[in-house]
Structure 1
């Protein structure tokens, strides 16, 4: 019988298992990519991303992506 869920594994994506797979996948991706992009581009895991509002006096949370590659600024 073909899977009723094409393109996904309902057992892997169940809440009981998914958080572990998701967290380990985030770290594995960072471990694989970091040596290829450092030192020019740092990479962070679950780094909060903000945007400036009201002339730079306030910041609004945009999100918390799993992996972030960013161009270093002088503020770091």
Structure 2
């Protein structure tokens, strides 16, 4: 495994994040809580779907190439950076 995604919660409330496992079958695609101001890292090797929910029916996601950082500011404000 040589790649990764960094997922940052830049909001003032916890958010749940999901990273698909298309490129890494052994990985988990469960929803994980990321506290406000925190970050988490997922090991993957290629394009993956990264999605967010705030615990209700509101969800948003992006399809992202490996070795990117996805910043969650709000359910309608996701930013992808190198």
Q: Which has the higher strand share?
A: 2
TM-score (norm 1): 0.27
TM-score by length of 2: 0.25
